[in-house]
Structure 1
Protein backbone atom coordinates (compact mmCIF):
# COMPACT_ATOMS: atom_id res chain seq x y z
CA UNK A 1 0.00 0.00 0.00
CA UNK A 2 1.32 3.42 -0.88
CA UNK A 3 2.69 5.37 2.05
CA UNK A 4 1.30 8.69 0.80
CA UNK A 5 -2.26 7.36 0.97
CA UNK A 6 -2.05 6.18 4.55
CA UNK A 7 -0.41 9.17 6.12
CA UNK A 8 -1.93 9.84 9.53
CA UNK A 9 -0.57 7.87 12.46
CA UNK A 10 -2.10 8.50 15.88
CA UNK A 11 -1.04 11.91 17.10
CA UNK A 12 1.54 12.15 14.30
CA UNK A 13 3.67 9.34 15.78
CA UNK A 14 4.20 5.93 14.19
CA UNK A 15 4.07 3.06 16.67
CA UNK A 16 7.04 0.72 16.88
CA UNK A 17 6.31 -2.96 17.52
CA UNK A 18 9.85 -3.35 18.88
CA UNK A 19 9.07 -1.06 21.80
CA UNK A 20 8.75 -3.40 24.79
CA UNK A 21 6.79 -0.93 26.94
CA UNK A 22 3.43 -1.04 25.16
CA UNK A 23 0.90 1.60 26.25
CA UNK A 24 -2.19 -0.07 27.73
CA UNK A 25 -5.46 0.97 26.07
CA UNK A 26 -8.58 0.56 28.20
CA UNK A 27 -11.74 2.52 28.98
CA UNK A 28 -9.92 4.80 31.42
CA UNK A 29 -7.36 5.67 28.74
CA UNK A 30 -10.13 6.59 26.28
CA UNK A 31 -11.87 8.74 28.89
CA UNK A 32 -8.64 10.53 29.78
CA UNK A 33 -8.23 11.57 26.15
CA UNK A 34 -11.68 13.18 26.24
CA UNK A 35 -12.92 11.67 22.99
CA UNK A 36 -15.72 9.42 24.26
CA UNK A 37 -19.24 10.22 23.12
CA UNK A 38 -20.62 7.74 25.64
CA UNK A 39 -19.20 5.65 28.48
CA UNK A 40 -20.74 3.94 31.48
CA UNK A 41 -17.76 2.03 32.84
CA UNK A 42 -18.48 -1.04 30.73
CA UNK A 43 -18.84 0.23 27.17
CA UNK A 44 -17.49 3.26 25.34
CA UNK A 45 -18.47 4.76 21.99
CA UNK A 46 -16.47 7.34 20.04
CA UNK A 47 -15.44 8.30 16.52
CA UNK A 48 -11.70 9.02 16.72
CA UNK A 49 -8.75 8.71 19.09
CA UNK A 50 -8.01 12.42 19.23
CA UNK A 51 -4.80 14.31 18.66
CA UNK A 52 -2.65 13.43 21.68
CA UNK A 53 0.48 11.46 20.87
CA UNK A 54 0.87 7.75 21.56
CA UNK A 55 4.51 6.67 21.64
CA UNK A 56 5.49 3.15 20.67
CA UNK A 57 3.15 0.19 20.49
CA UNK A 58 -0.15 -0.18 22.33
CA UNK A 59 -1.78 -3.19 23.98
CA UNK A 60 -5.54 -3.54 24.31
CA UNK A 61 -7.09 -4.28 27.70
CA UNK A 62 -10.57 -4.27 26.18
CA UNK A 63 -12.47 -5.44 23.11
CA UNK A 64 -12.55 -2.74 20.43
CA UNK A 65 -14.49 -2.72 17.17
CA UNK A 66 -13.59 -0.08 14.59
CA UNK A 67 -16.15 0.24 11.80
CA UNK A 68 -14.60 1.95 8.79
CA UNK A 69 -17.25 4.27 7.32
CA UNK A 70 -15.01 5.96 4.78
CA UNK A 71 -11.40 5.73 3.64
CA UNK A 72 -9.19 3.05 5.15
CA UNK A 73 -6.88 2.26 8.03
CA UNK A 74 -3.84 0.03 8.39
CA UNK A 75 -1.98 -1.27 11.42
CA UNK A 76 0.18 -4.14 12.58
CA UNK A 77 -1.50 -6.59 14.95
CA UNK A 78 1.06 -8.65 16.86
CA UNK A 79 3.55 -7.85 14.09
CA UNK A 80 1.29 -8.73 11.13
CA UNK A 81 -0.14 -5.99 8.89
CA UNK A 82 -3.91 -5.67 8.34
CA UNK A 83 -5.96 -3.14 6.37
CA UNK A 84 -9.63 -2.22 6.82
CA UNK A 85 -11.46 -0.46 3.99
CA UNK A 86 -14.86 1.25 3.96
CA UNK A 87 -17.55 -1.23 4.93
CA UNK A 88 -15.22 -3.36 7.04
CA UNK A 89 -14.80 -3.82 10.79
CA UNK A 90 -11.49 -4.36 12.54
CA UNK A 91 -11.91 -6.21 15.83
CA UNK A 92 -9.29 -5.81 18.53
CA UNK A 93 -8.98 -8.40 21.30
CA UNK A 94 -7.47 -8.04 24.79
CA UNK A 95 -3.69 -8.50 24.99
CA UNK A 96 -3.20 -7.84 21.25
CA UNK A 97 -0.34 -5.43 20.48
CA UNK A 98 -0.85 -2.76 17.80
CA UNK A 99 1.79 -0.71 16.01
CA UNK A 100 2.41 1.32 12.83
CA UNK A 101 -1.13 2.67 12.82
CA UNK A 102 -1.97 4.73 9.73
CA UNK A 103 -5.20 6.11 8.24
CA UNK A 104 -6.14 7.76 4.96
CA UNK A 105 -6.88 11.53 4.94
CA UNK A 106 -10.60 10.86 4.37
CA UNK A 107 -10.88 8.21 7.10
CA UNK A 108 -14.13 8.16 9.09
CA UNK A 109 -15.04 5.55 11.69
CA UNK A 110 -17.40 4.46 14.42
CA UNK A 111 -15.61 2.86 17.37
CA UNK A 112 -17.18 0.66 20.01
CA UNK A 113 -15.31 -0.59 23.07
CA UNK A 114 -16.23 -3.18 25.68
CA UNK A 115 -14.26 -3.50 28.92
CA UNK A 116 -12.48 -6.78 29.64
CA UNK A 117 -14.52 -7.18 32.85
CA UNK A 118 -17.84 -6.61 31.08
CA UNK A 119 -16.94 -9.09 28.36
CA UNK A 120 -16.18 -11.72 30.99
CA UNK A 121 -19.49 -11.06 32.76
CA UNK A 122 -21.69 -11.00 29.67
CA UNK A 123 -20.12 -13.61 27.37
CA UNK A 124 -20.52 -17.19 28.51
CA UNK A 125 -17.33 -19.01 27.59
CA UNK A 126 -18.45 -22.00 25.55
CA UNK A 127 -17.17 -23.83 22.51
CA UNK A 128 -18.80 -21.54 19.97
CA UNK A 129 -17.46 -18.37 21.61
CA UNK A 130 -13.94 -19.81 21.83
CA UNK A 131 -14.02 -20.77 18.17
CA UNK A 132 -15.21 -17.27 17.22
CA UNK A 133 -12.47 -15.66 19.32
CA UNK A 134 -9.90 -17.97 17.80
CA UNK A 135 -10.99 -17.01 14.30
CA UNK A 136 -10.94 -13.27 15.03
CA UNK A 137 -7.47 -13.58 16.58
CA UNK A 138 -6.06 -14.46 13.15
CA UNK A 139 -8.71 -12.71 11.02
CA UNK A 140 -9.39 -9.36 12.72
CA UNK A 141 -10.89 -7.63 9.65
CA UNK A 142 -14.52 -8.54 8.89
CA UNK A 143 -16.21 -7.43 5.66
CA UNK A 144 -19.87 -6.37 5.84
CA UNK A 145 -22.25 -6.79 2.93
CA UNK A 146 -24.60 -3.94 1.99
CA UNK A 147 -27.40 -5.26 4.20
CA UNK A 148 -25.26 -5.46 7.31
CA UNK A 149 -23.63 -2.11 6.60
CA UNK A 150 -27.14 -0.68 6.60
CA UNK A 151 -27.90 -2.50 9.88
CA UNK A 152 -24.76 -1.13 11.56
CA UNK A 153 -25.73 2.37 10.40
CA UNK A 154 -29.20 1.92 11.89
CA UNK A 155 -27.82 0.61 15.18
CA UNK A 156 -25.45 3.56 15.38
CA UNK A 157 -28.28 6.02 14.62
CA UNK A 158 -30.33 4.59 17.50
CA UNK A 159 -27.31 4.61 19.80
CA UNK A 160 -26.51 8.22 18.83
CA UNK A 161 -30.11 9.17 19.60
CA UNK A 162 -29.90 7.56 23.04
CA UNK A 163 -26.59 9.32 23.72
CA UNK A 164 -28.26 12.67 23.04
CA UNK A 165 -31.28 11.70 25.18
CA UNK A 166 -29.73 9.90 28.15
CA UNK A 167 -32.58 10.41 30.59
CA UNK A 168 -35.12 7.79 31.53
CA UNK A 169 -35.28 4.41 33.18
CA UNK A 170 -32.97 1.54 32.18
CA UNK A 171 -30.77 3.78 30.01
CA UNK A 172 -27.62 1.73 30.65
CA UNK A 173 -29.48 -1.53 30.04
CA UNK A 174 -30.83 -0.22 26.74
CA UNK A 175 -27.35 0.87 25.62
CA UNK A 176 -25.91 -2.53 26.51
CA UNK A 177 -28.71 -4.32 24.64
CA UNK A 178 -28.08 -2.28 21.50
CA UNK A 179 -24.36 -2.99 21.80
CA UNK A 180 -24.97 -6.72 22.20
CA UNK A 181 -27.23 -6.75 19.14
CA UNK A 182 -24.46 -5.19 17.06
CA UNK A 183 -21.97 -7.76 18.39
CA UNK A 184 -24.24 -10.67 17.50
CA UNK A 185 -24.61 -9.28 13.99
CA UNK A 186 -20.81 -9.57 13.72
CA UNK A 187 -20.90 -13.07 15.21
CA UNK A 188 -23.45 -14.07 12.56
CA UNK A 189 -21.05 -12.92 9.83
CA UNK A 190 -18.05 -14.68 11.36
CA UNK A 191 -19.73 -17.97 12.26
CA UNK A 192 -19.88 -19.51 8.74
CA UNK A 193 -16.12 -19.05 8.35
CA UNK A 194 -15.18 -20.74 11.62
CA UNK A 195 -13.96 -24.32 11.50
CA UNK A 196 -15.56 -26.16 14.38
CA UNK A 197 -13.46 -29.30 13.92
CA UNK A 198 -11.72 -30.22 17.16
CA UNK A 199 -9.07 -32.61 15.86
CA UNK A 200 -5.45 -31.91 14.98
CA UNK A 201 -3.17 -28.92 15.53
CA UNK A 202 -1.73 -27.49 18.73
CA UNK A 203 -4.11 -24.52 18.73
CA UNK A 204 -7.17 -26.71 18.32
CA UNK A 205 -5.91 -29.05 21.04
CA UNK A 206 -5.38 -26.12 23.39
CA UNK A 207 -8.87 -24.80 22.64
CA UNK A 208 -10.37 -28.24 23.21
CA UNK A 209 -8.57 -28.61 26.53
CA UNK A 210 -9.72 -25.20 27.70
CA UNK A 211 -13.30 -26.05 26.67
CA UNK A 212 -13.16 -29.13 28.88
CA UNK A 213 -11.82 -26.97 31.72
CA UNK A 214 -14.65 -24.46 31.15
CA UNK A 215 -17.21 -27.28 31.24
CA UNK A 216 -15.81 -28.47 34.57
CA UNK A 217 -15.94 -24.92 35.95
CA UNK A 218 -19.58 -24.61 34.97
CA UNK A 219 -20.49 -28.00 36.45
CA UNK A 220 -18.74 -27.30 39.76
CA UNK A 221 -20.53 -23.94 40.20
CA UNK A 222 -17.67 -22.26 42.03
CA UNK A 223 -17.21 -24.96 44.65
CA UNK A 224 -13.81 -26.24 43.52
CA UNK A 225 -11.04 -23.63 43.78
CA UNK A 226 -7.92 -25.74 43.30
CA UNK A 227 -6.06 -25.66 40.00
CA UNK A 228 -4.63 -29.08 40.89
CA UNK A 229 -8.11 -30.60 41.24
CA UNK A 230 -9.07 -29.49 37.75
CA UNK A 231 -5.70 -30.51 36.33
CA UNK A 232 -6.07 -33.97 37.87
CA UNK A 233 -9.50 -34.38 36.28
CA UNK A 234 -8.02 -33.41 32.91
CA UNK A 235 -4.98 -35.68 33.43
CA UNK A 236 -2.47 -32.83 33.02
CA UNK A 237 -0.22 -30.84 35.35
CA UNK A 238 -1.46 -27.62 37.01
CA UNK A 239 1.34 -25.71 35.30
CA UNK A 240 0.23 -26.92 31.86
CA UNK A 241 -3.43 -26.11 32.58
CA UNK A 242 -2.48 -22.54 33.49
CA UNK A 243 -0.28 -22.31 30.39
CA UNK A 244 -3.13 -23.44 28.12
CA UNK A 245 -5.60 -21.12 29.84
CA UNK A 246 -3.27 -18.13 29.52
CA UNK A 247 -2.52 -18.96 25.87
CA UNK A 248 -6.15 -19.35 24.83
CA UNK A 249 -7.80 -16.59 26.88
CA UNK A 250 -5.07 -14.36 28.32
CA UNK A 251 -6.06 -15.38 31.88
CA UNK A 252 -4.65 -18.05 34.17
CA UNK A 253 -6.63 -21.07 35.31
CA UNK A 254 -6.79 -19.66 38.85
CA UNK A 255 -8.26 -16.39 37.56
CA UNK A 256 -11.01 -18.34 35.77
CA UNK A 257 -11.65 -20.42 38.90
CA UNK A 258 -11.98 -17.32 41.06
CA UNK A 259 -14.24 -15.65 38.49
CA UNK A 260 -16.56 -18.66 38.53
CA UNK A 261 -16.74 -18.58 42.33
CA UNK A 262 -17.38 -14.83 42.40
CA UNK A 263 -20.22 -15.15 39.87
CA UNK A 264 -21.89 -17.76 42.06
CA UNK A 265 -21.37 -15.64 45.19
CA UNK A 266 -23.04 -12.71 43.43
CA UNK A 267 -25.90 -14.95 42.32
CA UNK A 268 -26.59 -16.32 45.81
CA UNK A 269 -26.25 -12.95 47.55
CA UNK A 270 -28.48 -11.17 45.03
CA UNK A 271 -31.12 -13.77 44.24
CA UNK A 272 -31.54 -16.04 47.25
CA UNK A 273 -32.73 -15.82 50.82
CA UNK A 274 -29.92 -18.05 52.06
CA UNK A 275 -27.91 -16.81 55.03
CA UNK A 276 -24.28 -15.82 54.58
CA UNK A 277 -23.21 -19.00 56.40
CA UNK A 278 -25.42 -21.16 54.17
CA UNK A 279 -23.85 -19.61 51.05
CA UNK A 280 -20.36 -20.18 52.44
CA UNK A 281 -21.27 -23.80 53.16
CA UNK A 282 -22.83 -24.53 49.77
CA UNK A 283 -19.75 -23.09 48.04
CA UNK A 284 -17.59 -25.27 50.29
CA UNK A 285 -15.55 -22.55 51.98
CA UNK A 286 -13.69 -23.89 55.03
CA UNK A 287 -15.19 -21.26 57.33
CA UNK A 288 -17.20 -18.04 57.38
CA UNK A 289 -14.12 -15.87 57.95
CA UNK A 290 -12.39 -17.16 54.83
CA UNK A 291 -15.58 -16.66 52.80
CA UNK A 292 -15.82 -13.05 53.99
CA UNK A 293 -12.19 -12.31 53.12
CA UNK A 294 -12.52 -13.91 49.68
CA UNK A 295 -15.69 -11.95 48.91
CA UNK A 296 -14.24 -8.63 50.03
CA UNK A 297 -11.03 -9.15 48.06
CA UNK A 298 -13.00 -9.72 44.82
CA UNK A 299 -16.12 -7.57 45.28
CA UNK A 300 -14.61 -4.82 47.42
CA UNK A 301 -17.14 -5.21 50.23
CA UNK A 302 -18.24 -7.83 52.74
CA UNK A 303 -20.98 -10.34 51.78
CA UNK A 304 -23.47 -8.55 54.03
CA UNK A 305 -22.68 -5.14 52.53
CA UNK A 306 -22.86 -6.49 48.97
CA UNK A 307 -26.30 -7.98 49.66
CA UNK A 308 -27.44 -4.68 51.17
CA UNK A 309 -26.23 -2.73 48.13
CA UNK A 310 -28.01 -5.08 45.74
CA UNK A 311 -31.21 -4.82 47.78
CA UNK A 312 -31.10 -1.02 47.65
CA UNK A 313 -30.41 -1.10 43.92
CA UNK A 314 -33.43 -3.33 43.29
CA UNK A 315 -35.64 -1.07 45.41
CA UNK A 316 -34.54 2.00 43.44
CA UNK A 317 -35.39 0.24 40.17
Structure 2
Protein backbone atom coordinates (compact mmCIF):
# COMPACT_ATOMS: atom_id res chain seq x y z
CA UNK A 1 0.00 0.00 0.00
CA UNK A 2 1.22 3.49 -0.77
CA UNK A 3 1.70 5.79 2.19
CA UNK A 4 0.89 9.45 1.78
CA UNK A 5 1.66 12.42 3.99
CA UNK A 6 -0.84 15.25 4.36
CA UNK A 7 0.62 18.21 2.52
CA UNK A 8 -1.26 20.94 0.70
CA UNK A 9 0.11 20.59 -2.82
CA UNK A 10 -0.95 19.45 -6.26
CA UNK A 11 2.17 17.53 -7.24
CA UNK A 12 2.74 14.11 -5.74
CA UNK A 13 5.32 11.53 -6.74
CA UNK A 14 5.50 8.02 -5.29
CA UNK A 15 8.72 6.05 -5.14
CA UNK A 16 9.01 2.28 -4.97
CA UNK A 17 11.85 0.02 -3.89
CA UNK A 18 12.33 -3.73 -4.44
CA UNK A 19 12.08 -6.07 -1.49
CA UNK A 20 15.84 -6.29 -1.11
CA UNK A 21 15.83 -2.73 0.26
CA UNK A 22 13.47 -3.31 3.15
CA UNK A 23 12.04 -5.98 5.43
CA UNK A 24 8.64 -4.25 5.45
CA UNK A 25 7.44 -5.48 2.08
CA UNK A 26 4.24 -7.50 2.43
CA UNK A 27 3.84 -8.16 -1.30
CA UNK A 28 7.20 -9.79 -1.93
CA UNK A 29 8.37 -7.64 -4.85
CA UNK A 30 7.86 -3.94 -4.32
CA UNK A 31 6.56 -1.47 -1.83
CA UNK A 32 6.12 2.27 -1.75
CA UNK A 33 9.00 3.85 0.09
CA UNK A 34 7.78 7.40 0.35
CA UNK A 35 5.74 10.21 -1.10
CA UNK A 36 7.49 13.24 -2.48
CA UNK A 37 5.93 16.63 -2.94
CA UNK A 38 7.21 19.15 -5.47
CA UNK A 39 6.86 22.67 -4.10
CA UNK A 40 9.65 24.40 -5.99
CA UNK A 41 9.13 26.68 -9.00
CA UNK A 42 11.74 26.01 -11.67
CA UNK A 43 10.49 27.26 -15.10
CA UNK A 44 10.89 23.95 -16.94
CA UNK A 45 9.07 22.10 -14.16
CA UNK A 46 6.19 24.55 -13.94
CA UNK A 47 4.92 23.51 -17.36
CA UNK A 48 4.16 20.08 -15.97
CA UNK A 49 2.93 20.76 -12.45
CA UNK A 50 -0.74 21.11 -13.30
CA UNK A 51 -0.75 17.92 -15.39
CA UNK A 52 0.13 15.88 -12.29
CA UNK A 53 -3.02 16.51 -10.28
CA UNK A 54 -3.40 12.84 -9.36
CA UNK A 55 -1.07 10.54 -7.51
CA UNK A 56 1.39 8.89 -9.90
CA UNK A 57 4.23 6.47 -9.22
CA UNK A 58 6.82 8.26 -11.34
CA UNK A 59 9.86 6.18 -10.45
CA UNK A 60 9.80 2.47 -9.71
CA UNK A 61 12.84 0.38 -8.89
CA UNK A 62 12.68 -3.38 -9.29
CA UNK A 63 15.01 -6.37 -9.46
CA UNK A 64 13.16 -8.34 -12.18
CA UNK A 65 11.92 -7.71 -15.72
CA UNK A 66 8.52 -9.23 -14.98
CA UNK A 67 6.67 -5.93 -15.34
CA UNK A 68 8.27 -4.63 -18.53
CA UNK A 69 5.45 -5.95 -20.75
CA UNK A 70 2.61 -5.10 -18.36
CA UNK A 71 0.01 -2.68 -19.77
CA UNK A 72 0.18 -0.86 -16.41
CA UNK A 73 3.75 0.15 -17.31
CA UNK A 74 3.01 1.40 -20.83
CA UNK A 75 3.86 4.99 -19.81
CA UNK A 76 7.20 4.01 -18.29
CA UNK A 77 10.65 3.82 -19.84
CA UNK A 78 12.53 0.78 -18.61
CA UNK A 79 16.25 1.15 -17.81
CA UNK A 80 17.99 -2.09 -16.87
CA UNK A 81 21.52 -3.24 -16.02
CA UNK A 82 22.48 -6.94 -15.96
CA UNK A 83 24.88 -7.90 -13.15
CA UNK A 84 25.11 -11.60 -13.97
CA UNK A 85 23.58 -14.32 -16.12
CA UNK A 86 21.47 -13.52 -19.14
CA UNK A 87 17.95 -13.07 -20.43
CA UNK A 88 16.63 -13.90 -23.88
CA UNK A 89 13.84 -11.60 -25.05
CA UNK A 90 11.88 -10.90 -28.19
CA UNK A 91 10.93 -7.45 -29.41
CA UNK A 92 9.82 -6.16 -32.80
CA UNK A 93 10.01 -9.69 -34.20
CA UNK A 94 13.68 -9.98 -33.24
CA UNK A 95 15.46 -11.96 -30.54
CA UNK A 96 18.01 -10.30 -28.25
CA UNK A 97 20.37 -11.54 -25.57
CA UNK A 98 20.60 -9.25 -22.55
CA UNK A 99 23.63 -10.46 -20.62
CA UNK A 100 26.14 -9.56 -17.96
CA UNK A 101 27.67 -6.12 -18.40
CA UNK A 102 24.92 -4.86 -20.74
CA UNK A 103 22.35 -2.15 -20.21
CA UNK A 104 18.95 -2.12 -21.85
CA UNK A 105 16.44 0.63 -22.52
CA UNK A 106 12.87 -0.14 -23.51
CA UNK A 107 11.70 3.30 -24.58
CA UNK A 108 8.51 2.48 -26.46
CA UNK A 109 5.90 -0.26 -26.55
CA UNK A 110 7.08 -2.43 -23.70
CA UNK A 111 3.94 -4.50 -24.24
CA UNK A 112 5.64 -5.88 -27.36
CA UNK A 113 8.45 -7.41 -25.30
CA UNK A 114 8.33 -11.11 -24.51
CA UNK A 115 10.75 -12.71 -22.08
CA UNK A 116 11.69 -16.08 -23.58
CA UNK A 117 14.31 -17.37 -21.17
CA UNK A 118 16.36 -16.32 -18.14
CA UNK A 119 19.38 -18.10 -16.72
CA UNK A 120 19.39 -19.36 -13.15
CA UNK A 121 21.96 -16.73 -12.13
CA UNK A 122 20.23 -13.82 -13.89
CA UNK A 123 20.53 -10.67 -11.74
CA UNK A 124 19.25 -7.29 -12.88
CA UNK A 125 18.57 -3.78 -11.59
CA UNK A 126 15.63 -2.02 -13.21
CA UNK A 127 14.53 1.60 -13.02
CA UNK A 128 11.14 2.48 -14.50
CA UNK A 129 10.55 6.21 -15.10
CA UNK A 130 7.39 7.80 -16.47
CA UNK A 131 7.57 9.71 -19.72
CA UNK A 132 6.63 12.88 -17.84
CA UNK A 133 9.54 12.60 -15.42
CA UNK A 134 11.89 11.76 -18.28
CA UNK A 135 10.86 15.01 -19.94
CA UNK A 136 11.72 16.89 -16.76
CA UNK A 137 15.12 15.23 -16.59
CA UNK A 138 16.26 14.96 -20.20
CA UNK A 139 19.07 17.41 -21.09
CA UNK A 140 18.69 19.87 -23.93
CA UNK A 141 20.08 17.62 -26.65
CA UNK A 142 18.58 16.36 -29.90
CA UNK A 143 20.52 13.11 -29.64
CA UNK A 144 17.71 11.52 -27.66
CA UNK A 145 15.48 11.40 -30.75
CA UNK A 146 18.10 9.58 -32.82
CA UNK A 147 18.91 7.25 -29.96
CA UNK A 148 15.34 6.23 -29.33
CA UNK A 149 14.91 4.96 -32.89
CA UNK A 150 18.08 2.89 -32.67
CA UNK A 151 16.86 1.51 -29.34
CA UNK A 152 13.52 0.65 -30.90
CA UNK A 153 15.44 -1.67 -33.24
CA UNK A 154 17.91 -2.93 -30.61
CA UNK A 155 17.34 -2.06 -26.95
CA UNK A 156 20.50 -3.78 -25.67
CA UNK A 157 23.77 -1.84 -25.33
CA UNK A 158 26.98 -3.76 -24.51
CA UNK A 159 29.17 -1.80 -22.11
CA UNK A 160 32.91 -1.66 -21.59
CA UNK A 161 34.18 -2.41 -18.06
CA UNK A 162 34.53 1.33 -17.42
CA UNK A 163 31.02 2.04 -18.70
CA UNK A 164 29.66 -0.76 -16.51
CA UNK A 165 31.00 0.99 -13.42
CA UNK A 166 29.49 4.30 -14.55
CA UNK A 167 26.11 2.63 -15.12
CA UNK A 168 26.12 0.98 -11.70
CA UNK A 169 27.05 4.26 -10.02
CA UNK A 170 24.15 6.01 -11.78
CA UNK A 171 21.67 3.40 -10.63
CA UNK A 172 22.95 3.64 -7.06
CA UNK A 173 22.74 7.44 -7.21
CA UNK A 174 19.04 7.32 -8.11
CA UNK A 175 18.39 4.85 -5.27
CA UNK A 176 20.35 6.98 -2.83
CA UNK A 177 18.43 10.13 -3.73
CA UNK A 178 15.15 8.28 -3.26
CA UNK A 179 16.16 7.28 0.25
CA UNK A 180 17.09 10.83 1.34
CA UNK A 181 13.67 11.71 2.70
CA UNK A 182 14.93 14.61 4.83
CA UNK A 183 16.69 16.33 1.91
CA UNK A 184 14.96 19.69 1.44
CA UNK A 185 15.78 19.74 -2.27
CA UNK A 186 15.31 16.08 -2.99
CA UNK A 187 13.19 16.69 -6.10
CA UNK A 188 15.96 18.71 -7.75
CA UNK A 189 18.54 16.16 -6.62
CA UNK A 190 16.48 13.34 -8.08
CA UNK A 191 16.07 15.13 -11.41
CA UNK A 192 19.83 15.65 -11.45
CA UNK A 193 20.48 11.95 -10.74
CA UNK A 194 18.12 10.80 -13.49
CA UNK A 195 19.60 13.36 -15.88
CA UNK A 196 23.12 12.09 -15.23
CA UNK A 197 21.90 8.56 -15.95
CA UNK A 198 20.32 9.70 -19.23
CA UNK A 199 23.43 11.63 -20.32
CA UNK A 200 25.61 8.58 -19.74
CA UNK A 201 23.15 6.41 -21.69
CA UNK A 202 23.48 8.94 -24.52
CA UNK A 203 27.25 8.54 -24.33
CA UNK A 204 27.14 4.73 -24.23
CA UNK A 205 24.95 4.69 -27.32
CA UNK A 206 26.86 7.40 -29.20
CA UNK A 207 30.15 5.61 -28.58
CA UNK A 208 28.70 2.65 -30.53
CA UNK A 209 26.76 4.44 -33.25
CA UNK A 210 28.28 7.91 -33.51
CA UNK A 211 26.49 11.26 -33.49
CA UNK A 212 24.85 13.36 -36.17
CA UNK A 213 23.70 16.94 -35.93
CA UNK A 214 19.92 17.13 -35.88
CA UNK A 215 18.09 20.43 -36.03
CA UNK A 216 15.39 21.22 -33.50
CA UNK A 217 12.92 21.63 -36.37
CA UNK A 218 13.63 18.11 -37.67
CA UNK A 219 13.45 16.65 -34.19
CA UNK A 220 10.07 18.27 -33.52
CA UNK A 221 8.69 17.06 -36.85
CA UNK A 222 9.79 13.51 -36.15
CA UNK A 223 8.37 13.64 -32.63
CA UNK A 224 5.00 14.72 -34.00
CA UNK A 225 5.07 11.99 -36.65
CA UNK A 226 5.86 9.26 -34.13
CA UNK A 227 3.30 10.66 -31.71
CA UNK A 228 0.64 10.17 -34.38
CA UNK A 229 1.75 6.56 -34.80
CA UNK A 230 1.80 6.06 -31.03
CA UNK A 231 -1.82 7.22 -30.90
CA UNK A 232 -2.74 4.46 -33.35
CA UNK A 233 -3.44 6.59 -36.43
CA UNK A 234 -1.92 3.83 -38.57
CA UNK A 235 -5.02 1.70 -37.99
CA UNK A 236 -6.94 3.88 -40.43
CA UNK A 237 -4.21 5.82 -42.24
CA UNK A 238 -1.18 4.10 -43.73
CA UNK A 239 -0.12 6.53 -46.46
CA UNK A 240 2.78 8.94 -46.10
CA UNK A 241 0.60 11.63 -47.65
CA UNK A 242 -1.82 11.57 -44.72
CA UNK A 243 0.92 12.17 -42.14
CA UNK A 244 2.75 14.74 -44.27
CA UNK A 245 -0.45 16.70 -44.83
CA UNK A 246 -1.30 16.60 -41.12
CA UNK A 247 2.18 17.94 -40.33
CA UNK A 248 2.11 20.58 -43.10
CA UNK A 249 5.10 19.19 -45.01
CA UNK A 250 5.54 17.24 -48.23
CA UNK A 251 5.78 13.43 -48.21
CA UNK A 252 9.30 13.69 -49.63
CA UNK A 253 10.46 16.02 -46.84
CA UNK A 254 8.94 13.83 -44.12
CA UNK A 255 10.70 10.78 -45.52
CA UNK A 256 14.01 12.64 -45.78
CA UNK A 257 13.80 13.77 -42.15
CA UNK A 258 12.83 10.27 -41.02
CA UNK A 259 15.73 8.75 -42.95
CA UNK A 260 18.22 11.22 -41.49
CA UNK A 261 17.11 10.78 -37.88
CA UNK A 262 16.12 7.12 -37.72
CA UNK A 263 17.95 5.60 -40.65
CA UNK A 264 14.63 4.52 -42.14
CA UNK A 265 12.06 6.33 -44.34
CA UNK A 266 8.66 7.31 -42.96
CA UNK A 267 6.94 4.41 -44.76
CA UNK A 268 9.04 1.95 -42.78
CA UNK A 269 7.73 3.26 -39.46
CA UNK A 270 4.12 3.30 -40.64
CA UNK A 271 4.40 -0.32 -41.75
CA UNK A 272 6.39 -1.31 -38.67
CA UNK A 273 3.86 0.05 -36.21
CA UNK A 274 1.01 -1.51 -38.17
CA UNK A 275 2.64 -4.93 -38.42
CA UNK A 276 3.58 -5.04 -34.75
CA UNK A 277 0.09 -4.08 -33.65
CA UNK A 278 -1.48 -6.68 -35.93
CA UNK A 279 0.89 -9.39 -34.67
CA UNK A 280 -0.06 -8.54 -31.09
CA UNK A 281 -3.78 -8.71 -31.84
CA UNK A 282 -3.45 -11.97 -33.78
CA UNK A 283 -2.16 -13.64 -30.64
CA UNK A 284 -5.38 -12.72 -28.86
CA UNK A 285 -7.63 -15.71 -29.58
CA UNK A 286 -10.69 -13.81 -28.39
CA UNK A 287 -10.50 -11.67 -31.55
CA UNK A 288 -11.57 -13.04 -34.91
CA UNK A 289 -9.55 -12.34 -38.04
CA UNK A 290 -12.51 -10.39 -39.41
CA UNK A 291 -12.64 -8.20 -36.29
CA UNK A 292 -8.93 -7.41 -36.55
CA UNK A 293 -9.26 -6.71 -40.27
CA UNK A 294 -12.09 -4.29 -39.57
CA UNK A 295 -10.03 -2.50 -36.90
CA UNK A 296 -7.49 -1.59 -39.59
CA UNK A 297 -10.00 -0.72 -42.29
CA UNK A 298 -9.05 -3.42 -44.76
CA UNK A 299 -11.56 -3.78 -47.59
CA UNK A 300 -11.75 -7.54 -47.25
CA UNK A 301 -10.38 -10.43 -45.22
CA UNK A 302 -8.32 -11.57 -48.22
CA UNK A 303 -6.71 -8.12 -48.43
CA UNK A 304 -5.90 -8.33 -44.71
CA UNK A 305 -4.38 -11.81 -45.15
CA UNK A 306 -2.18 -10.62 -48.01
CA UNK A 307 -0.97 -7.68 -45.92
CA UNK A 308 -0.05 -9.98 -43.03
CA UNK A 309 1.79 -12.41 -45.32
CA UNK A 310 3.67 -9.58 -47.04
CA UNK A 311 4.75 -7.74 -43.89
CA UNK A 312 4.95 -10.52 -41.30
CA UNK A 313 5.97 -13.39 -43.55
CA UNK A 314 3.27 -15.77 -42.30
CA UNK A 315 -0.46 -16.31 -42.62
CA UNK A 316 -2.78 -14.99 -39.88
CA UNK A 317 -3.64 -18.56 -38.88
CA UNK A 318 0.05 -19.28 -38.16
CA UNK A 319 -0.18 -17.06 -35.08
CA UNK A 320 -2.72 -19.42 -33.51
CA UNK A 321 -1.22 -22.81 -34.23
Give the TM-score normalised by structure 1. Answer: 0.49
